[in-house]
Amino acid sequence: MIPAAAERALPPAFAMGGSGARLKVKGLCFLALGPFHFDVERGECLGITGASGTGKTLLLRALADLDPHTGEVFLDGVEAGALPASQWRRRVGLLPAESAWWSDTVGPHFNQIAPRRLSRLGFGTEVLQWEVARLSSGERQRLAFLRLLEGQPAVLLLDEPTANLDAENTRRLETLVRRYREQQGAAVVWVTHDLPQLERVSTRCCRLQNGRLESL
């Protein structure tokens, strides 16, 4: 459980002088989709919806430079190709719909996590010894989000982050993202099928259709 007070006050570790940046996409094409042109300002949340198979996940993957693509993506004017791929990905934090885990226990997936950061998300330090296989989907998603924030991303790319979560865990994650966005000035791209959620979390909404983004 996340204490209510913790949800109001963002963990100090997250509030390090605003690591956010402005995301600019220019002529981005991948497979047969695009070209995409859009900006997401610091502290803004662009919500993207669209039918299954329209390429929402592929769009996020291209932004994170996980798939070959053409066109340019900038963070505060710096093009992706100007940075080593690893550094770029650390700055544009992608949270996949299904989080991936490669060690048996939670601990090895984190570099050095301060106990207080865990406790702000409702976990004790004993969570590091927990087996990944025994985590609930809500716990997994919250831990995956915490793991992503370790790299202090300037942008958050969220791919149906609450698809497998119950109402309570959904609300928690929405709150965490909003705090990070507001306090760090992070640009957020939030992909979901859930229109009421988009209204809650986003500052601007688009629909991905026929390989293009259309404003809602």
Partner 1 sequence: MHVVPLTPVDLGLAALLVVALALLSLRMRLNLAGQIVTAAVRTTVQLLLVGLVLKTLFAHVSLPWISLMALVMLLAAGREVMGRQTRRFAGWWGFGVGTVSMLVSSFAVTLLALTVIINIQPWYAPRYAVPLLGMVLGNTMTGMAVGLDRLTQAAWSQRAAIEGRLILGEQAATAIAAIRRESIRSGLIPIINAMSAAGIVSLPGMMTGQILGGSPPLEAVKYQILIMFLIAAGTGFGTITAVWLGGRRLFDERHRLRLDRLRPAR
Residues forming contacts to partner 1 in the complex (CB under 8 A) are 64-68, 81, 85-87, 89-90, 93-94, 96, 98-102, 147-148, 150-151
Sign of torsion, CA 89 138 4 44?
A: positive
Give the shortest CB-48-to-partner 1 separation in angstroms: 18
Which residue, 141 or 198, has its beta carbon nearer to partner 1?
A: 141
Give the shortest CB-186-to-partner 1 separation in angstroms: 16
Give the shortest CB-104-to-partner 1 separation in angstroms: 12
Which residue, 78 or 216, has its beta carbon nearer to partner 1?
A: 78
Which residues lie below 8 Å from residue 44, measured CB to CB, with a gap of 6+? 181, 187, 188, 203, 204
Which residue, 41 or 67, has its beta carbon nearer to partner 1?
A: 67
Q: Contact at 8 Å (CB) between 28 and 73?
A: yes
Give the shortest CB-168-to-partner 1 separation in angstroms: 25
Specify the amino acid at residue 169: N
Which residue, 103 or 136, has its beta carbon nearer to partner 1?
A: 103
Which residue, 67 or 182, has its beta carbon nearer to partner 1?
A: 67
Give the shortest CB-151-to-partner 1 separation in angstroms: 6
The owner of tokens 């990070």 is 180
Which residue stretches of 41-166 are H helix?
56-63, 85-91, 115-120, 137-149
Report the distance separating Cα 124 and Cα 117, nearest Å.
9
Conformation bin of residue 71: beta by default, left when phi > 0, alpha when psi is -120 to 50? left
